[in-house]
Amino acid sequence: MPEIAAAIMPIAGHIDPVPVPRAVAPREDGRVDLVGLNKAELREALLSAGMEPRQAKLRSKQIWHWIYNRGATEFSAMTDIAKVQHPWLEARFVVGRPEVVEAQVSSDGTRKWLLRSPDGQDYEAVFIPDADRGTLCVSSQVGCTLNCTFCHTGTMRLVRNLTAGEIVGQVMLARDALGEWPSQPEGRMLTNIVMMGMGEPLYNFENVRDALSVVMDGDGLALSKRRITLSTSGVVPMMARAGAEIGVNLAVSLHAVTKEIRDEIVPLNRKYGIEELLQACADYPGANNARRITFEYVMLKDKNDSDAHAHELVRLLKHYKLPAKVNLIPFNPWPGAAYECSTPERVRAFSDIVFAGGISAPVRTPRGRDIDAACGQLKTAAEKKSRAQLDREAVEAALVAAE
């Protein structure tokens, strides 16, 4: 298949557009995937397909319930919809799931899925179980454009934004894998969502917003906004809008307290500096002591982990009067990385200084390292292969199957 010529994808807010070499291709069968549509969009999809308005109003409510409360993927399972209508729906619509290319389970129970879209793009999602919660780490883009030097995902090229349906689809797939249908608030394993997977969520604002509105809808998946965290590397112009239009918890990938170091490891800092970023945090709607902003700080040996850096971190957060928590993240190594992880003693000393300053600074326990599912490690193995190599492998597989 020839590659689509490079295009510019407009992004909401006064920020630079992101070049993406591939657009989202429609399904080959022409059907519309209903996953990710909100209630009004689902009803409109039925109307556009020719369903009578009163029928569309009723059927959209029923289908919504079956998709998000019961986890149904086939219209034939929707028993309160007349059987004679099932073929009409099946010919025009699908209740999709991302294709699972590979599913891995870590020795600590962490699960990672390598997923593939209908147009052949790969992305990843990770489920992290804990004693009192289960957190799904969700991707927002195929690849990333930020080039953070400590992050394996940041070494990927950006292919395209994920659609709202592809973002919601990661949640649906995890619920399938965990056996959590019908949907109910109590007894869930999947209790929290973090937008911390591949990509920068605020560079895909509309799709992330629309996906999370579906996830938070009380008639469906019904995850509270207090159980959802959106992480950004500091796309300052979009932060206030995220607070106003999405309203979930905010996490900021800070990782350094000086311009020189943050310019190096988080290049976005050259556009939106630390002071501008922290002021945007101070202005974030809904932030208070009960809903603190989380600052992520990866611990890099001899780079950002000195006592002086810890004291400066405390000073900055207090200067901006931020209701803050700092997550100290031991660096997760990957082949070719230019950094090493700080020693456990250095991490503890850093944490003690921040705690002494009156700011919570727990050390995050690395999860899923053995399957490259830990923080900063997400990078699909398939991305390392060229398009021609993938095509050759597909042909070889077909020949083997034919023998």
- Tens of pLDDT, residue by residue, the chain (403 residues): 333 333 333 333 334 445 444 567 788 888 999 999 999 999 999 999 999 999 999 999 999 999 999 999 999 999 999 999 999 999 999 999 999 999 999 888 899 999 998 888 899 999 999 988 999 999 999 988 888 888 876 567 788 999 999 999 999 999 999 999 987 767 789 999 999 999 999 999 999 999 999 999 999 899 999 999 999 999 999 999 999 999 999 999 999 999 999 999 999 999 999 999 999 999 998 888 778 999 999 999 999 999 999 999 999 999 999 999 999 999 988 788 889 999 999 999 999 999 999 999 999 876 655 655 444 444 454 444 444 444 454 445 445 444 4
Is 124 annotated as catalytic?
yes
Starting at the edge strand found earlier in the chain, the sheet holding 324-330 runs 99-105, 111-116, 122-129, 134-137, 192-195, 228-232, 249-253, 293-299, 324-330
| Active-site residue, selected from the candidate residues 44, 52, 124, 144 | 124
Q: What would the pLDDT profile of 196-235 be if each residue is shown by its tens digit?
A: 999 999 999 999 999 999 999 999 899 999 999 999 999 9
Q: Which residue type occupies 350?
A: F
State residue 216's pLDDT score. 97
State residue 378's pLDDT score. 45
State residue 152's pLDDT score. 75
State residue 385's pLDDT score. 45
- HEC per residue, the chain: CCCCCCEEECCCCCCCCEEECCCCCCCCCCCEECCCCCHHHHHHHHHHCCCCHHHHHHHHHHHHHHHHCCCCCCHHHCCCCCHHHHHHHHHHEECCCCEEEEEEECCCCCEEEEEECCCCCEEEEEEEECCCCEEEECCCEECCCCCCCCCCHHHCCCCEECCHHHHHHHHHHHHHHHCCCCCCCCCCCCCEEEECCCCCHHHHHHHHHHHHHHHHCCCCCCCCHHHEEEEECCCHHHHHHHHHHCCCEEEEECCCCCHHHHHHHCHHHHCCCHHHHHHHHHCCCCCCCCCCEEEEEEEECCCCCCHHHHHHHHHHHHHCCCCEEEEEEECCCCCCCCCCECCHHHHHHHHHHHHHCCCECCECCCCCHHHCCCCCCCCCHHHHCCHHHHHHHHHHHHHHHHC
Half-sphere exposure of 340 (CA within 13 A, CB side): 6
State residue 371's pLDDT score. 52
Torsion angles phi and psi, residue 308, rounded to 5: -60, -40
State residue 185's pLDDT score. 67
Q: What would the pLDDT profile of 157-185 be if each residue is shown by its tens digit?
A: 788 999 999 999 999 999 999 999 987 76
131 contacts: CB under 8 Å, gap ≥ 6: none
Distance of alpha carbon 373 from alpha carbon 62, whole angstroms: 37
Closest of 120, 124, 223, 225 to residue 167, by C-alpha: 124
State residue 302's pLDDT score. 96
Q: Crossing angle of helices 205-216/236-245, nearest 10°?
A: 20
Half-sphere exposure of 288 (CA within 13 A, CB side): 5
State residue 398's pLDDT score. 46
Is 341 annotated as catalytic?
no
Residue 86 burial by CB count (10 A; 0-12/13-18/19+): exposed, middle or buried? middle
Return the biggest CA–CA distance within the chain: 71
State residue 6's pLDDT score. 35
State residue 149's pLDDT score. 81
| Active-site residue, selected from the candidate residues 137, 144, 281, 375 | 375
pTM over 0.75: yes
